[in-house]
Amino acid sequence: MIAKISTGSYTVGMVRYNHDKTKSSKTSEKDAELIGTKNIITPSFESIVSTIQDYNSKNKRVTKPNIHISLNFYKDDLLDNEKIIEIGNDYMAQMGFEDQPYAVYRHFDREHPHIHIVSSMINSEGKKINDSNIYYRSQALTRKLEEKYNITKATCKRGVLEENNIHKAIYEHLEHGKHSLTGILNEVLYTVLDSKPTSENEFDKLLESYQVKRFVSLDKNQNAKGHYFDLYPLEYLNEASPFKKSKGIEGIALDPNYSYESIQIQLMLNKKGKEQLKNGIMGKIYSVLNPILDQQSPIKTSILATNLKKKGIELITKRTQTGENLDAIYGLLFKDIHTKQTYSASEIKLKTRDLLNLLEDDEKRNKNITYHTEDISKNTIEQKLFVVESQPNNGAISSFFEALSTILTSTYSSLDDQQTDDKKKKRKKLR
């Protein structure tokens, strides 16, 4: 679990950044959902803005009274809205914001579950909420919450900690002027380009996930002549006005590879490379899929993934994060392990529904269990207890203790068997 924190003064922009994503259009589904509010009368855009502004107005001396927090979970953490709000409320309470007005938005624009929380740093008495060492207190708290709610530890997954360091540097730069803007932008651009975006729109979206805004400079004929990069709080990312005064850093000044022309060439090469590789990738994919589709033979998701991996293709399942059918597959992506190019089902001319109808999803996680086991002996007991508790209640307390007795007996019996096996292995080594 990773927490990202930013502060600012533009309440409308902070709320709009999240609220606009809750609107769907004819061409796209909504990218977010307002899943909860606290100490706000109605869950409307106007009410959220006015309530936060009302609290902010109680202390004019604070120049950045808004706080914008995002809590990011590992992609394998299965969290419904109820659980994710519970974690969010716990985080806010322990950070000193329990009595503050805040709104919780769940975003769907990334593979991993994550929420954004908008609030005020000013309490009802006009005093500022303690923000001393807020980043370090937040980091310590996220470790505690990982233990409490049995969610994946950020430091346990390769790559997550490195990304956390980038966001930490961004926060410290925006809040305290630490770290070189040039260094941060270089790191972000390197990371973003490693994802091989194929269009300016995709490139810009990836940049914005790191709070980096790109703006293009025009010549007198309104033709693009260069571009600049700058770092902003999330509340300003959707606003045009702040960038008129911003100088930022020109791409070519960061690195010749980041000039406007170089980026255009890179995007074009990524797109062309993706297209050129497509036929070969499709051949590998369909060598696995054709027998399944032709014979209409059901196949387990894990077996399909294994067979594709043998061909150098990673199967990525897109799963629902909310709703009654939680964690159900609704889409498929195919990633070439060598080139890192990713293709949607439509790009390889595959009708997703045809394949989904044949998939036996043996990788779907139990929605009653949202933790990750570390101590096998301990969590074997815990997991079985969760299963017992999730069964219909027959009203007989004695049945529960009988079940508990059975669980403990079987668990410790298996541990005894393991210890016996270990002793046998040691004896063999001694001989």
pLDDT tens readout for residues 302-351: 999 999 999 999 999 988 877 777 788 888 999 998 888 889 998 999 98
pLDDT of residue 392: 40
On whether residue 415 sits in a domain, the answer given is: yes
Domain boundary among 334, 360, 386: 360
On whether residue 214 sits in a domain, the answer given is: no
What are the tens digits of pLDDT across the range 228-258? 999 887 777 666 555 455 568 999 999 989 9
What are the tens digits of pLDDT across the range 20-32? 999 876 556 788 9
Same domain, 321 and 405: no
For residues 305 and 326, what is the distance between their CA atoms, to the nearest angstrom? 21
Q: Among 46-55, 105-114, 261-270, whose mean pLDDT is lowest?
A: 105-114
On whether residue 120 sits in a domain, the answer given is: yes
pLDDT of residue 394: 42
Name which residue leads in pLDDT, 135 or 254: 254
pLDDT of residue 162: 52
pLDDT of residue 240: 55
Same domain, 12 and 90: yes
- Crossing angle, helix 260-295 and helix 301-310, to 10 degrees? 120
Residue type, 296: Q
On whether residue 350 sits in a domain, the answer given is: yes
3-state secondary structure of 217: strand
Same domain, 384 and 425: yes
On whether residue 366 sits in a domain, the answer given is: no
On whether residue 172 sits in a domain, the answer given is: no
Same domain, 29 and 70: yes
CATH of the domain at 18: 3.30.930.30
What are the tens digits of pLDDT across the range 376-430? 333 333 333 333 333 344 444 444 444 444 444 444 444 445 544 554 444 444 3
Name which residue leads in pLDDT, 421 or 36: 36
Name which residue leads in pLDDT, 183 or 55: 55
Average pLDDT of the residues in 89-96 = 96
Same domain, 407 and 332: no
pTM over 0.75? The answer is no
Query: What 8-state DSSP symbol labels residue 256?
Result: G
Query: Band of the pLDDT at 77, cuts 50, 70, 90?
Result: confident
pLDDT of residue 363: 78
Same domain, 76 and 124: yes
For residues 44 and 430, what is the distance between their CA atoms, to the nearest angstrom? 72
Q: Residue 45: is its pLDDT beyond 80? A: yes
pLDDT of residue 26: 59
Q: How many domains, the chain?
A: 3
Q: Residue 368: is its pLDDT beyond 60? A: no
Same domain, 142 and 49: yes
pLDDT of residue 161: 40
Same domain, 1 and 140: yes
Q: Over the chain, what is the mean pLDDT?
A: 81
Same domain, 347 and 408: no
Inter-residue contact 36 to 104 (CB < 8 Å): yes
For residues 121 and 7, what is the distance between their CA atoms, to the nearest angstrom? 9
On whether residue 246 sits in a domain, the answer given is: no
Residue 280 belongs to domain spanning: 274-360
pLDDT of residue 155: 58
Query: Band of the pLDDT at 375, cuts 50, 70, 90?
Result: very low
Same domain, 327 and 419: no
Q: Among 146-155, 251-260, 353-362, whose mean pLDDT is lowest?
A: 146-155
On whether residue 422 sits in a domain, the answer given is: yes
Query: Band of the pLDDT at 130, cuts 50, 70, 90?
Result: very high
Domain boundary among 115, 150, 185: 150
Tally of CB atoms within 10 A around 254: 18
Identify the CA nearest to 40 among candidates 31, 30, 53. 53
User: Using a CB cutoff of 8 Å and minimum separation of 24, what contacts does 26-34 make?
Assistant: 29/108, 30/108, 31/107, 31/108, 31/109, 32/105, 32/106, 32/107, 32/108, 32/109, 32/116, 33/81, 33/105, 33/106, 33/108, 33/322, 34/103, 34/104, 34/105
pLDDT of residue 430: 38
Same domain, 135 and 9: yes
Domain boundary among 335, 360, 385: 360
pLDDT of residue 139: 87
Same domain, 399 and 334: no
